[in-house]
Each structure stands twice: as structure tokens, then as C-alpha cells.
Homo-oligomer: A and B are copies of this chain.
Amino acid sequence: MVVTDPDVLGGYRQDRALDPDAGIALALVRPLTTEQVATTVRWAHEHRVPIVPRGAGTGLSGGATAQNGALLLSTEKMRDISVDTVTRTAIVQPGLLNAEVKRAVAEHGLWYPPDPSSFEICSIGGNAATNAGGLCCVKYGVTTDYVLGMEVVLADGTAVRLGGPRLKDSAGLSLTKLFVGSEGTLGIITELTLRLLPAQPPQSTVVATFPTLTAATDAILAITGQLRPSMLEFMDSVAINAVEDELRMGLDRQAAGLLVARSDAPGEHAGHEADIMLAACEKAGATEAFRTDDPDEGEAFCAARRFAIPAVERKGPLLLEDVGVPLPRLGDLVTGIADIAANRRVLISVIAHAGDGNTHPLIVHDPSDPEESERAHLAFGEIMDLAIGLGGTITGEHGVGRLKKPWLPDQLGPDVMALTRRIKDALDPHGILNPGAVL
């Protein structure tokens, strides 16, 4: 169970944030059961050895960066799932991938909504640890909205069971919800009870291109002011062209922005809602806008949107942001990011889960060019400052990890930081759980 081979450990040093400050871990453990996790944590607690938990290692904030002398605890081998169609819940171990959860419940005609773009490669445990979001969250909410219960191993190795397959439970503090999004700093989630929905109805899809960013953000506000789309995604010109370079699907390379909007209202209501969204796009000045009810065609545009990050990444390594703002400030955010890109002379592509105000500015930079890299990192911080100034958040769905930690006090303020620290100290008094992350 314990691996100390440096070659193997090397593969677990970083997550997808590629934190340059990753350390050298003591060893790697890949437990199969809650009891094995508990045994590991009891040992670590006794010897005051820090533990860095990780799921599939797809995190984008350095939440799973190896620390010197730490134990890496990967949940990748914890892969059981059972589905209960009557309570419409699934009990899953954390190592299962999001897509595997979706597929397993789909066999029972059920649906687990949260859908990070990385859903084929990210783990459900990591999703819970970061309170991950995705594309359908604009209508269906984020991971915490689907976690009814969990088993979690605390800092001293005690395994506790919280919540359960019940939609309602007001007995005691909402501890389940506290552990969701805690990024491995309060405990290690070893099992989740997930709320499921009936299978999603077929979706109707609208694709529209816009001559200006303002026209696109106008369309976004017009749409969300009238209905709740099941998806409302945005790509800017850089992303459109990067995707078109790879996929050759005939996207308008001249457009300043592209929206993909969907409705999953029952039956012909999906088409009605799509028509309302189409009209909103046209009224906002779309150069082209069309609706399709063909599932494959609709999915192709969603896949194009999901492919935007890897496509832009071919232009160079990315600093990946995850800033969110209240929706009325989305235009200010997008404009402000363009100003930062111009001032810092760096290429920044903006893609967004537009309907909930959550954007992913992608800062392209050459890490081997120290001067350019410095400008990129300055822009990285300035974008978070901008989001905070607009009443937003430095992370909508990726978590703080280690890369965004310096900006967290600016968002939360000293009193909330102190409150956070009190909870952390109460639950992990020796600071062995994911040290250096978040706090």
C-alpha cells in the first residue's frame, strides 16, 4: 500500500496547476477503504506527518501539490458505487471519476448534474473537496447542492458519518456542507451520498456569435432575465479561433464572442425557451444565431466549448483563472480583463460559464521568458483584484489551493479569515491536513 519509489512519487508531485513550488513527498498511499484511510491518518496524526490528499490530480489551483516530507494520500483506488432508485441517491467512493458516476446512475435512468468541463478525468471526491461546478450549474447548482451525506476521516483518524439519503435533515450542525469545498484541510472524504435527479430531458441548443463583447454580455443578461437556461456558455475571439484551429467546425473567426445556450424544458418547451434565447441574441446584435434540436449537433458545440482550454493551451502554458462576479458586473469584468491584457502585454482568452458570472480568463505565457512570465503573474493577480473589486470571488469552482491563497484574505477580509482559522484549528489542531492549502 505504501509507495516510496521516487519515479512513482514524481507522478504525484503536482496537479494540473503545475505548481512550481511542489516539494518532495515522503511516500504515497493508495487506500482501498475508509478503514485504511483512517489507519493512515491515525499514523500521520501520531507522528505529526502532514498529509496531502488527492483525487484524480486534475485540480487547477494546486490544492494537491506535494509538500516536503508529506504523505500523499490518493483516493484513486476507492471506486465503489451503489445506486438507490427509490431515494434517488448514490453512495460513491471518492476515486470514481465524475463521468463514471454519471454513467453508473444513467443506467438507472438517473442523472448526477454537476459537470465540470474535466468531467471525464476528474474524481467525484475532488469535486466535493473543491465544491466543483460546471456548465449546467446555472440551472442545477453546484456540487454542494447534491451532497446529502458523507463519510469523512478527521485529522486524528476518526471516521465519522454525516447526513445520509434524506432530502431533509436538521439534526445538529450542517457538517456535511462544511466539508464540501474544504479542499482536504478539515478531513478526508471517503464516501459520498449524492442526490440524483431523473434523467435530463433532451436539450434544444442556441449558438450565436457577436461583433462586440458588449453585445454578447447584453444577450447574456437578456437571457437570464427571462428564463433559466440549462447552459449558457461564452467564448471570446481567441478561444473561438483556437478551437477552430483544432476542430475545423466552421466557427466564425471574425466574431468577438460566441454563446452556446441550451434549454432542457420538457417536450416542446425546450424549443420555446430556445426561441426566446435566440430572439434575445438577435436583439442584442448577434451577427449569426441559430437553434438546433439535434442532440449531436448541440453536443458538438458544447464539446467545442469544453475544448476551449486545451485548444488555447496549444498557444502556450496557461495561468488559469476562475473568477466570478454578480451577473450585472460581467461586462465590467470582461472589459477590465481586456484592459489588464493590454497593460501587461499578455494574451488573455476569456471563456465563461456566463449564465452564473463565472469566468475562466486564460493567461498565455512562456515560463522560460522571466520577463513575460512576470507580466503574466502580475495580470493573474490583477484579475483577482478586479473580481474582488466588483464584489466577486477569486474562485467560482476550482478552489483556492495554493496558487490563489495570497488573494483569499483580500476577498474574505480579516474577520472571516480569523473565523476560518478558528474552525481549521479546532478540527486539525496539529495542522497535518493539506498544510499550505487555502490557509
Contacts and interface: CB of A to CB of B under 8 A. Distances in A.
A167 B141 contact: yes
Instruction: Say which size band chain A's interface belongs to.
Output: 35 or more
Given A266-B269, A269-B267, A411-B171, A326 B419 contact: no
Contact of A393 (B171, B353, B393): B171
Interface in A137-181: 137-138, 141-142, 144-145, 154, 158-162, 164-175, 177-178, 180-181
Interface string A374-405: 00000000000000000111111111100010
A21 interface: no
Nearest to A167: B356
A160 to B, nearest CB: 5
Given A87-B327, A324-B168, A174 B175 contact: no
A396 B170 contact: yes
Nearest to A438: B172
Contacts of A166: 324-326, 356-358, 392-393, 396
A133 interface: yes
B408 A172 contact: yes
A36 interface: no
Contact of A324 (B169, B198, B391): B169
Contact of A171 (B165, B225, B400): B400
Identical subunits present: 2
A160 B423 CA distance: 15
Nearest to A154: B419
A4 interface: no
A168 B397 contact: yes
Given A170-B396, A425-B426, 9 more contacts: A84-B326, A166-B393, A168-B356, A169-B393, A170-B181, A172-B438, A174-B177, A269-B269, A423-B423
Interface of A: 84-88, 130-133, 137-138, 141-142, 144-145, 154, 158-162, 164-175, 177-178, 180-182, 185-186, 197-198, 221, 224-225, 227-228, 265-267, 269, 322, 324-328, 353, 356-358, 391-400, 404, 408, 411-413, 415-417, 419-420, 422-427, 438
